[in-house]
């Protein structure tokens, strides 16, 4: 049966685009963190929407499950197959065409496998801005961004991926194609079907193309690394910068000492802008002119109010890049350090400081010495609350893994009590699907299952991801 399917897939996409050898499939079956490794019946790399439709249709008829994959940078193991060896990984990596760009309408139409950095570059080439920005932007794809409803460092001003999308083209689980590639800002003609597929993590179909929004460019930047005593001061500083800079505030990211120390240890050439301080905020204003004055006025007020311990304003593009590298290097540095237990939580922003103070002693009691690597998009109420093992090498990595269930449950229970979310931007994948369902009401889980069953009655699209 599987031999027949593989022959059919080879005839559909070309033999060289159906990978089965271990060496060829290796990069597709292990996730970015290196913690989740599966096996695949095959990795199939279609080159067009028609080929995706034919592959999905053949798998549907054969009853074979599909795992869609873009850049494989996801952090919740949603884009890699399970251990059964029975699933087909459908990679969108060959679908990299930019179909259209319209600077006046402010739209770009791209295939799902276009890398995020290439969308940004194409927009810039047309004198426009595609604002989404993630540490993984050199590898992640627009199809993956849509499917995870990715966030990143520009959400404060431009919103999540969902808010940047106008239209989609989707191959449905039975192989039919939904052409919803509309470039309209206004379209009230029924249910918003595109929003069903955005954030669905490949469980309802395969996004093959999208129309995304473009914005006027923001060539001027004012960037500062601001040291603060704690999360309370960071949140107060956010209010001041908003008051002075208004819509020019583009980025407001928090970094604690444990996170910065990992980057200083593992990133060649990294330099500490403010040694001895416990917390820092990377603030950036973006616009066309006059930003330095707004930033300085906000920082002046903050100093007067005792909110700021130290501030380094970037005086050149090189200094700006160095500050950004400290922020963007945290995920990689923590991975190099050893085992990481990732949490991606949102809370109402006014509760963030109290929550971080409340949860710390609970975690210390579970695993003494556990390192709280806390950073992220504090302007969105979103913290990456990632844990590293106590200092001490492999034995302590094992201790972190052994305590992982208890640590994560303590964090999630406490987030749920505070009316927060256990996944702000990474999605649920296979690592958080069961936990998320346990915090949702029966009605909410039932609605989600109803949508899944209606679109994918055979349960062949990315089973085990998003819904347990």
Q: Does 384 interact with ligand MLT (rule: CB under 6 A)?
A: yes
Neighbours of 62 (CB within 10 A): 16
Smaller CB separation from ligand MLT, 57 or 386? 386
Measure the CA–CA gap between 188 and 202, rounded to whole angstroms: 25
Token pair 């269930």: residue: 405
Q: Does 156 interact with ligand MLT (rule: CB under 6 A)?
A: no
Smaller CB separation from ligand FAD, 294 or 430? 430
Shortest distance in whole angstroms from residue 350 CB to ligand FAD: 23
Query: Between helices 330-337 and 317-328, what is the axis angle to 10°?
Result: 40
Q: Which does 342 bind (CB under 5 to 8 A by kind): ligand MLT, ligand FAD, none?
A: ligand MLT
Shortest distance in whole angstroms from residue 453 CB to ligand FAD: 18
Of residues 328-357, those binding ligand MLT (CB under 6 A): 330-331, 342
Give Cβ neighbours of residue 126 (< 8 Å, ≥ 6 apart). Answer: 101, 103, 108, 214
DSSP notation for 340-376: EE--EEE--GGGHHHHHHHHHHHHHHHSTT-EEEEEE
Shortest distance in whole angstroms from residue 210 CB to ligand MLT: 21
Smaller CB separation from ligand FAD, 138 or 348? 138
Shortest distance in whole angstroms from residue 270 CB to ligand MLT: 15
Q: Which region, judged by CB under 6 A, interacts with ligand FAD, from 66-74, 309-317, 354-362, 436-444?
A: 66-74
Shortest distance in whole angstroms from residue 102 CB to ligand FAD: 22
Neighbours of 288 (CB within 10 A): 11
Q: Does 135 interact with ligand MLT (rule: CB under 6 A)?
A: yes
Q: Which does 384 bind (CB under 5 to 8 A by kind): ligand FAD, ligand MLT, none?
A: ligand MLT
Do 97 and 54 meet the contact criterion of CB atoms below 8 Å apart? no
Do 387 and 372 meet the contact criterion of CB atoms below 8 Å apart? yes
Outline where DSSP puts E strands in 194-309. 206-213, 220-228, 249-256, 279-287
Do 149 and 162 meet the contact criterion of CB atoms below 8 Å apart? yes
For residue 211, what are its two tokens? 């129309």
Q: Does 148 interact with ligand FAD (rule: CB under 6 A)?
A: yes
Q: Does 468 interact with ligand MLT (rule: CB under 6 A)?
A: no
User: Which chain residues interact with ligand MLT by CB under 6 A?
Assistant: 75, 135, 330-331, 342, 376, 384, 386
User: Which chain residues interact with ligand FAD by CB under 6 A?
Assistant: 32, 67-75, 78-79, 92, 112, 134-136, 140-141, 143-145, 147-148, 150-152, 201-202, 206-207, 331, 425-426, 429, 462, 465
């Amino acid at each position: 049966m599987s031999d027949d399917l593989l022959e059919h897939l080879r005839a559909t996409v070309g033999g060289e685009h159906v990978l089965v050898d271990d060496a060829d499939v290796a990069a597709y079956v292990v996730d970015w963190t290196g913690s989740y490794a599966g096996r695949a019946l095959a990795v199939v790399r279609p080159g067009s929407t028609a080929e995706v439709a034919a592959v999905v249709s053949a798998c549907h008829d054969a009853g074979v499950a599909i795992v869609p994959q873009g850049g494989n940078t996801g952090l919740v193991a949603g884009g890699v197959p399970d251990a059964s060896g029975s699933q087909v990984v459908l990679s969108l990596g060959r679908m990299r065409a930019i179909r259209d760009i319209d600077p006046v309408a402010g739209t770009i139409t791209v295939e799902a496998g276009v890398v995020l950095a290439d969308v940004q570059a194409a927009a810039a080439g047309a004198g426009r801005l595609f604002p989404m920005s993630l540490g993984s932007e050199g590898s992640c794809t627009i199809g993956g961004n849509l499917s995870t409803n990715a966030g990143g460092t520009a959400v404060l001003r431009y919103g999540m991926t969902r808010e940047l999308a106008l239209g989609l083209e989707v191959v449905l689980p039975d192989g039919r194609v939904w052409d919803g590639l509309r470039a309209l800002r206004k379209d009230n003609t029924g249910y918003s079907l595109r929003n069903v597929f955005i954030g669905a993590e490949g469980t309802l179909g395969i996004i093959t193309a999208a129309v995304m929004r473009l914005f006027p460019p923001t060539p001027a930047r004012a960037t500062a690394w601001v040291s603060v005593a704690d999360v309370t001061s960071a949140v107060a500083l956010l209010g001041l910068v908003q008051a002075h800079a208004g819509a020019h505030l583009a980025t407001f990211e928090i970094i604690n000492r444990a996170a910065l120390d990992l980057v200083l240890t593992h990133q060649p050439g990294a330099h500490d802008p403010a040694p001895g301080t416990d917390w820092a905020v990377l603030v950036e204003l973006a616009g066309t002119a006059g930003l330095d004055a707004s930033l300085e006025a906000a920082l002046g007020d903050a100093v007067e109010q005792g909110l700021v311990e130290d501030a380094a304003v970037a005086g050149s593009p090189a200094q700006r890049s160095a500050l950004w590298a400290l922020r963007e290097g945290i995920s990689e540095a923590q991975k190099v350090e050893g085992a990481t237990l990732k949490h991606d939580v949102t809370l109402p922003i006014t509760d963030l400081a109290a929550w971080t103070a409340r949860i710390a002693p609970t975690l210390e009691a579970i695993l003494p010495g556990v390192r709280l690597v806390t950073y992220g998009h504090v302007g969105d109420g979103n913290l990456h609350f990632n844990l590293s093992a106590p200092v001490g090498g492999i034995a302590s990595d094992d201790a972190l893994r052994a305590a992982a269930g208890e640590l994560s449950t303590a964090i999630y229970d406490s987030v749920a009590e505070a009316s927060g979310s256990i996944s702000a931007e990474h999605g649920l994948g296979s690592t958080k699907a069961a936990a998320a369902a346990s915090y949702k009401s029966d009605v909410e889980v039932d609605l989600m299952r109803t949508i899944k069953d209606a679109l994918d009655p055979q349960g062949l699209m990315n089973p085990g991801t998003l819904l347990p």
